[in-house]
């Protein structure tokens, strides 16, 4: 089936920011699409046609075939006109890990890979513990009610990543603002003074460039034990990393590392506040906490998509995709596929299939920071399950409007602590 704007534009579910404000409806509609058109061709004004993959097996298969499916600089969906305008506006062609392919991607990923391996991340656990303690204490000081997304999830996840990055605490608000300019520019709350999302995104990238150029100079002159130093001095194929690749490297680590995890934690907390017994049952049970974090990742899927481009004519479940055709990997859809998960629309921290979640993608581009994200979630869940004796929603959750990275951005809760 081809979906046109005139037919109700089902494709808007995947590209229009506003449709991400109500995830219950989104999932109901997408479940229907998965049943009738699991490989959905979208032909909508302003976009070259693309196909949406909504099934777990298809998302995983394409993610793992990094030879016939490439990321390319356009690995995030946007209106074709915006793309040209952004480049004309002077933004360097995207060249971060999610925009590179093949040997070039492998060589660049190798620059920081050691920092993200399980043993290296384990080594950081004491610091993650310290920061989690700090934010649990902040909850105590807030005296029984807070906006969990803004007061706890955002600053905690931001602090963990900026700490290993080597970005000083006073620059964290700037990092947050610029990240929102790239991931969530379509949300009026994040648009700022910019006229439109494209303008906001270009301005954010330019400001990041300025900031990271200064940081590079600093870390080349005075190397430190942090990720900024590794990127500043990174070598690829025996020579220094290219300027553009280095800048985009900084940007992806600075952006991908916190908004994602923050949306996962806030969205998980929303569900736990609705079913608090699930939270309290985690207290002191390490295995259950590990499983709960996977269920939160499945349920929230804060990265909404990435694109892949066919290097040759391909067929997925009988649907032909021409050479150069592009598919949208819908992680939230795949994570609610009834063929992969029992009773997928139920949030259940004890489910036995939670570890099949594909919220971190798969194949060569599998999320570099997955071990950090998992540890951040588990570390906070450990504490919340022990320290809270009561928690409930104290208002309606509000969702960030973005078709790329989004989730619960305001979560009013009321709680009591031990
Ligand atoms: C809940 C939290 C997170 C989620 C849901 C998430 C999700 C993802 C997804 C879906 C991808 C693309 C995978 C693919 O194309 O197959 C990705 C890539 C990436 N993520 Fe994460 N991520 C999270 C946290 C983090 C953290 C904490 C970092 C730390 C810096 C990070 C850094 C990256 C980087 C650098 C890439 C690009 C990897 C590559 O292309 O080789 N992410 N992430």
- What residues line ligand 1, using a CB cutoff of 6 Å? 63, 97-98, 109, 161, 252-253, 256-257, 260-261, 264, 297, 302-303, 306, 331, 359-363, 365-369, 372-373
Q: Which atom of ligand 1 is nearest to the CA of 306?
A: 15
Rounded mean pLDDT of 282-307?
A: 98
- pLDDT 10s digits, 69-84: 999 999 999 999 888 8
User: How confident is the model over 200-241, as pLDDT tens digits?
Assistant: 888 888 999 999 999 999 999 999 999 999 999 999 999 999
Residue 379 CB contacts under 8 Å (≥ 6 apart), including other chains: 125, 128, 129, 132
* Cβ atoms within 10 Å, residue 274: 13
CA distance 120 to 106: 19
* Mean pLDDT, all residues of the chain: 94
| 354-399 pLDDT tens trace | 999 999 999 999 999 999 999 999 999 999 999 999 999 999 999 9
pTM of the model: 0.95
Task: Place 199 in a pLDDT band, splitting at 50, 70 and 90.
Answer: confident
The preferred substitution site among 112, 179, 256, 263 for testing ligand 1, maximizing ligand atoms within 8 Å of CB, is 256
Residue 255 in 3-state DSSP? helix
User: What are the backbone dihedrals phi and psi of residue 72, each rounded to the nearest 5 degrees, phi first?
Assistant: 65, 170
Beta bridge mates, 319? 316
- DSSP three-state, residue 348: coil
Note the Cα 392 to chain centre separation in Å.
26
Using the mean position of ligand 1's atoms as its centre, give its distance from the Cα of residue 94 in Å: 16
* Distance from the alpha carbon of residue 97 to the mean position of ligand 1, in angstroms: 10
């Amino acid at each position: 089936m081809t979906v046109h704007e005139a037919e109700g534009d089902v494709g808007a579910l995947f590209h229009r920011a506003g449709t991400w404000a109500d995830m219950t409806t989104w999932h109901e509609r997408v479940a229907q699409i998965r049943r009738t058109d699991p490989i959905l061709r979208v032909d909508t004004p302003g976009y070259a046609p693309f196909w949406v993959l909504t099934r777990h097996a298809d998302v995983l298969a394409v993610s793992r075939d990094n030879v016939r499916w490439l990321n390319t600089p356009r690995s995030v969906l946007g209106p074709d006109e915006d793309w040209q305008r952004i480049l004309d506006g002077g933004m360097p062609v995207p060249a971060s890990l999610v925009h590179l392919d093949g040997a070039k991607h492998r060589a660049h990923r190798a620059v920081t890979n050691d920092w993200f391996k399980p043993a290296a991340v384990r080594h950081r656990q004491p610091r993650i513990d310290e920061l989690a303690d700090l934010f649990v204490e902040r909850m105590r000081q807030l005296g029984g009610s807070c906006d969990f997304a803004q007061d706890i999830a955002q600053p905690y996840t931001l602090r963990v990543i900026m700490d290993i990055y080597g970005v000083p605490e006073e620059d964290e608000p700037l990092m947050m603002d610029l990240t929102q300019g790239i991931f969530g520019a379509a949300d009026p709350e994040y648009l700022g003074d910019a006229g439109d999302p494209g303008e906001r995104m270009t301005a954010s990238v330019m400001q990041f460039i300025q900031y990271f150029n200064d940081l590079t100079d600093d870390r080349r002159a005075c190397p430190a034990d942090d990720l900024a130093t590794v990127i500043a001095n990174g070598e690829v194929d025996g020579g220094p990393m290219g300027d553009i690749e280095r800048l985009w490297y900084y940007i992806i680590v600075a952006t991908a590392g916190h908004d994602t995890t923050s949306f996962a934690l806030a969205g998980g907390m929303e569900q736990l506040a609705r079913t608090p017994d699930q939270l309290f049952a985690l207290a002191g049970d390490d295995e259950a906490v590990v499983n709960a974090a996977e269920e939160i990742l499945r349920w929230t899927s804060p990265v909404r998509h990435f694109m892949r481009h066919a290097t040759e004519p391909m067929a997925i479940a009988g649907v032909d995709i021409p050479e150069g055709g592009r598919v949208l990997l819908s992680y939230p859809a795949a994570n609610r596929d009834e063929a992969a998960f029992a009773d997928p629309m139920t949030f259940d921290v004890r489910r036995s299939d939670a570890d099949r979640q594909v919220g971190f993608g798969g194949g060569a581009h599998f999320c570099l920071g997955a071990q950090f994200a998992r540890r951040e979630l588990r570390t906070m869940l450990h504490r919340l399950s022990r320290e809270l004796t009561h928690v409930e929603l104290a208002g309606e959750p509000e969702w960030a409007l973005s078709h790329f990275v989004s989730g619960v951005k305001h979560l009013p809760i009321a709680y009591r602590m031990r």
